[in-house]
Amino acid sequence: MGKPSRTGPEGRGTRPAAHELARYEALFATRTKGMKSSAMREMMALTERPEVISLAGGLPDTSTFPAERFAKLMATVAAESTARALQYGPTEGMRVTVDSIVEVMAAEGTLVDPESVIVTTGGQQVIDLVCKTLIDPGDVIVAEAPTYPGAVPTFSAYQADVEQIDLDGEGMPIDELERTLDRLAAEGRRPKFIYTIPNFQNPAGVTMSLPRRKRLVEVARERELLVLEDNPYGLLRYDGEALPTLYSLDAESLGRAGAADLVIYLGTFSKILSPGLRMGWAVAPRPVLEKLNLGKQGSDLCSSPVTQMFVAAYFRERARDGRPAWEEYVESLRELYRRRRDVMLESLQEHFGDSARWTTPRGGLFVWATLDERIDTTDLLTLALESDGVAFVPGRAAYMDGRRGSSSMRLNFAGVPEQDIREGIRRIGRGVRDQLGLLGTLSGSPGVPSPAQEDRGEQRGRRGKGGGEQPQPLADVVKLPRREGSRGARRSNDR
């Protein structure tokens, strides 16, 4: 081999050298700088190994959907509408699909005008399109803390400035929201919309109370702000009364059912039918809808007509008693997930006990657990993956800065069989106790329970069923990261 030369042979197989990459760097849009990868996200790739019990996913359970039924639906689509299914469709979606959407929303007590609906490629596309439509770099989005981890990269990609409001057991505290809006106004910053998941919030599992829902709609009206209501799990309620959607409250307050003017509603078939269909929708005030439509044209012209016809065929099916068959399926999911939720709550009581706090969701897919503030769940995940083969989502993923929420974790119960939930929580609990024991030894704090002091059988007996089965009101149980409070608690422990 001769002396190295700077110019290699041109043509196929020549690798771009590092200095050439700098050229691409100059071509990338500024917003790509916000699209950062992180060591933590890289690590999440490891949670998908088959031997790992993953409580990390956002998955519903698709294994209970009968294969014959799937085949029959596809056959119906083929027999009745091959040509249409294989063709482009309208950007706003096919009428038959919109009819299904109207039916699903009616089941949650929300009336909508079919003309206000746009069919999208998953609910995720709604978040993207709403940002595309409303957000200039530096515009403010007000979101919950913690918020949906999947919205974080979208908000970042549009260079939004996100203000997060700490949740409590009743969802987003509206007085806190108003204080934030006042402060933003004083700073001359421009909020565009408020992003909320009112039902069984992802990741916190909490539900916004009715008074807060009403007040949120009023605040939006007073300040002329839009609200993006993300409602993937509304029909997956396992106990308690269903609450009206923000969309329906907004429409009612205007005295015209079916037409809100400040709420953009996001729905999806992912949790009540299948995420593999990639089918969601938005219901929006007409001027916003038009812009969403234009945005969608640029993104993908239309959502897959094959899938849309599948959805329409599915919602036309009737059970033997004449009821819509889809309602039966959702009912079966509710039963399945309710049991799994209960198993997870029981397991948490048994294996986390006093060492953590967690939310008691009345629906949805997730429990949010918060540990001693000195345990970083990102580190704990490494340990859990490497030594215990179990995974969860570290709390930091639900915060825009990737730092807060470091002692919390999101646990999915819906997509995991009961025995895996028990075993997964047992393993995580063991890791937590181990770390607490080490912390106790290192800081010499007697207040921290250590594995040596804690006999599991004793703990089970002590707490009994009374404390575990029927949880305290959400507001008492949930304790989301509040720096001052927890630091104070730790100090008193140290003495």
Partner 1 sequence: MSPRRRVAVLKGGRSLERSVSLRSGAQVQDALAGLGHEVIAIDVGETFVADLLEHGPEVAFVALHGREGEDGTVQGLLEAVSIPYTGSGQAACMRATDKLLAKLLMREAGIPTPPFHALREDSIKELGGAAAVERIQQDIGLPLVVKPAHGGSALGVKFARDAQELPKAMVGAFSYDRTILLERYVRGRDLAVSVLERPPGGGGTPLALPVVEAVPREEEFYDYESRYEIGMTTFVCPAELPGETTERAQELAVEVYELLGCHGLARVDLMLERDTETLWVLETNVVPGMTETSLLPQAADAAGIGFEELVERILASAWSR
Query: Could you tell me the smallest distance in angstroms from the CB atom of residue 420 to partner 1?
Result: 21
Q: Count of residues binding partner 1 (CB under 8 A)? A: 41
Among positions 242-271, residues that touch partner 1 (CB under 8 A) are: none
Among positions 380-419, residues that touch partner 1 (CB under 8 A) are: 380, 382-383
Reply yes or no: is the peptide bond before residue 203 cis, omega within 30 of 0: yes
Among positions 433-462, residues that touch partner 1 (CB under 8 A) are: 435, 437-439, 441-444
Applying CB under 8 A, among 316, 339, 374, 482 the residue interacting with partner 1 is 374
Query: Could you tell me the smallest distance in angstroms from the CB atom of residue 157 to partner 1?
Result: 13
Residue 323 three-state SS: coil
Cβ–Cβ under 8 Å, residues 262 and 388: no
Q: How many Å apart are CA 58 and CA 407, to the nearest integer? A: 20
Which DSSP helix (H) or strand (E) runs through 420?
Answer: helix 418-443
- Number of H helices and E strands in the chain, helices first, is 17, 13
Paired tokens of 227: 């609200």
111 binds partner 1 (CB under 8 A): no
Residue 17 three-state SS: coil
Contact range with partner 1 by CB under 8 A, out of 8-16, 123-131, 293-301, 316-324 = 8-16
Paired tokens of 154: 């979208």
In angstroms, the Cα distances linking 172 to 165, 176, 194, 199, 297 are: 7, 8, 11, 11, 34
- Specify the length of the chain in residues: 495
Query: Could you tell me the smallest distance in angstroms from the CB atom of residue 379 to partner 1?
Result: 4
Query: Could you tell me the smallest distance in angstroms from the CB atom of residue 200 to partner 1?
Result: 30
Among positions 9-48, residues that touch partner 1 (CB under 8 A) are: 12-19, 21, 33, 36-40, 42-43, 45-46
Cβ–Cβ under 8 Å, residues 100 and 315: yes
Contact range with partner 1 by CB under 8 A, out of 58-66, 85-93, 432-440, 472-480 = 432-440
Among positions 49-68, residues that touch partner 1 (CB under 8 A) are: 49
Q: How many Å apart are CA 365 and CA 360, to the nearest integer? A: 11
Q: How many Å apart are CA 152 and CA 124, to the nearest integer? A: 11
Residue 83 or 442: which CB sits closer to partner 1? 442
Q: Spell out, one character per residue from 323 to 362, where the chain touches partner 1: x when CB under 8 A holds, - when not.
A: ----------------------------------------
Residue 229 or 372: which CB sits closer to partner 1? 372
Query: Could you tell me the smallest distance in angstroms from the CB atom of residue 28 to partner 1?
Result: 11
Please report which residue ranges of 1-66 form alpha helices under DSSP H: 18-27, 39-44
Please report which residue ranges of 86-209 form alpha helices under DSSP H: 95-107, 122-134, 151-157, 174-186
Residue 341 or 433: which CB sits closer to partner 1? 433
Applying CB under 8 A, the residues found at the interface with partner 1 are 1, 4-6, 8, 12-19, 21, 33, 36-40, 42-43, 45-46, 49, 374-376, 378-380, 382-383, 435, 437-439, 441-444
